[in-house]
Amino acid sequence: MFRAPKLTKPGLFITATDTGVGKTVATCAIAWQLRQQGLSRVGVCKPMASGCRRDREGLVSEDAEAIAHFADCRQPLNIINPIRYARPLAPAVAADQAQEPPDFDALTRSLELLDATQECVLIEGVGGLLVPLHPKKPQWTVLDLIALLGYPVVVVCRAGLGTLNHTAMTVRLLREAGCTVAGLIINGYVPDPGEAMATAVKQSAQREANQSDKETGAVAAPVKASSADTLQADPRDDSMTTNRIWLQKMNHAPILATIPVCPATSVAPEKGRLPDAILDAVGLTYWPDVLRSPLPLGEG
Ligand SMILES: Nc1ncnc2c1ncn2[C@@H]1O[C@H](COP(=O)(O)OP(=O)(O)OP(=O)(O)O)[C@@H](O)[C@H]1O
Ligand SMILES: [Mg+2]
């Protein structure tokens, strides 16, 4: 069904414990940091994308646009993202509904072209590990694709409650399939849950005061925007203080970055926007070394 591409350059496969956990944000930041850290040709690939928008050129994936931008990868989007579907469903299901089987030969050609023209290749996965990719082979998932390609894997995981289970399941499956886990990226970390909570309470009191000022005709003082306005994580989630150490202990994998939760308006990688807080958090790791993560014995 899928001819494995012949790959000669180093690369990383960026997966996550679920969809929407931060693969695109992490891939963009890694690509950007690899360029800062000395690589001039960073290739990127989103093998399959669903939920694509339709424009004059056809279907376009925002994830592909984002990773291409931060990597400054000059290849056409249909090379970076060879398989595209309109409906926001798992790729196998989107393919089934569109009655258009995925063209894995096109993916092989894309990866060989990126390998031949770039110094390294970053691949952003789709959803989590067991997302099905082919309508006729429902057992064939992202995990099989990762194992076939052989790149070391970066796992993006949530910062809060539930992440220990989801991350351990992901890491265990990867290792059972013979993949190298290069490390974890914790995304959406609230630096100090206690302080974030206090800020949120203070701001809500301030908003109420402004509201009553409005009612009495007084001029309201502007409320300073802060990350507490847009927290995606529950600021009371105590597990954030212990998850980092437990993720390390349970998985014997390095934490490559801990990315803080940022105001939603500042995080728009598809428009070329990522806050310094995210880029800097990922920049604490020297990524050329991660590209050289050793493969399991007997491979590579
Ligand atoms: N640290 C962060 N702070 C604030 N918002 C974030 C952060 N990380 C990700 N987001 C937002 O969360 C959403 C999901 O992130 P992202 O698109 O990177 O996930 P994904 O794993 O690539 O999802 P998909 O499975 O759809 O490819 C996006 O809207 C993104 O802007
Ligand atoms: Mg994505």
pLDDT digits (tens, 9 = 90+) for 159-208: 999 999 999 999 999 999 999 999 999 999 998 756 656 666 666 676 67
Taking residue 227's Cβ as centre, other Cβ atoms within 10 Å add up to: 21
Ligand 2 centroid vs 197 CA: distance in angstroms? 29
Taking the CA of 257 as reference, the closest ligand is 1
pLDDT-derived band at 220 (thresholds 50, 70, 90) equals very low
- Nearest ligand to residue 18 Cα: 1
pLDDT of residue 297 exceeding 90, the answer is no
Instruction: Yes or no: say if 168 and 30 are a contact pair by the CB < 8 Å rule.
Output: no
Which of 231, 267, 276, 279 should be mutated for ligand 1, with most atoms under 8 A from CB? 267
What residues does the ion ligand 2 have nearby, CB within 5 Å?
Answer: 23-24, 63
Quick: pLDDT tens for 54-87.
Answer: 999 899 999 999 999 999 999 999 999 999 999 9
pLDDT, position 293: 86
- For residue 81, report the distance from its CA to the centre of ligand 1, in Å: 18
Domain ranges of the chain: 11-190+236-291, 193-230
Question: What pLDDT is attached to residue 137?
Answer: 96
Binning the chain into helix, strand and coil, the percentages to the nearest 5 are 45, 20, 40
Ligand 1: residue of 15, 24, 186, 190 to mutate (most ligand atoms within 8 A of CB) is: 24
- Alpha carbon of 279 to ligand 1 centroid (Å): 14
**Interatomic CA distance for residues 80 and 101, integer angstroms:** 18
Residue 194 has a pLDDT of 61
Q: How many distinct helices (H) and strands (E) make up the chain?
A: 11, 12
Confidence at residue 16, expressed as pLDDT on a 0 to 100 scale: 98
Residues with CB under 6 A from ligand 1: 16, 19-25, 63, 127, 187-188, 232, 259, 261-262, 264, 267, 278
Distance, CA 22 to ligand 1 centroid (Å)? 4
The rounded distance, in Å, linking the Cα atoms of 157 and 20 is: 10
State the catalytic residues: 46
Whether 31 has a pLDDT exceeding 70, the answer reads: yes
Which phi and psi angles does 249 have, rounded to 5°? Answer: -65, -40
pLDDT over 80 at 117, yes or no:
yes
* Global model pTM greater than 0.85: yes
Are the C-beta atoms of residues 87 and 53 closer than 8 Å to each other?
A: no
What CATH number was assigned to the domain covering residues 11-190+236-291? 3.40.50.300
For atom 25 of ligand 1, the residue with the nearest CA is 19
First to last CA, the chain: 23
Q: Spell out the residues 6+ positions from residue 212 whose beta carbon is closer than 8 angstroms to its own.
A: none
pLDDT of residue 2: 79
The DSSP annotation for 150-174 comes to: ---EEEEEESSTTHHHHHHHHHHHH
Tokens linked to 112: 């060989």
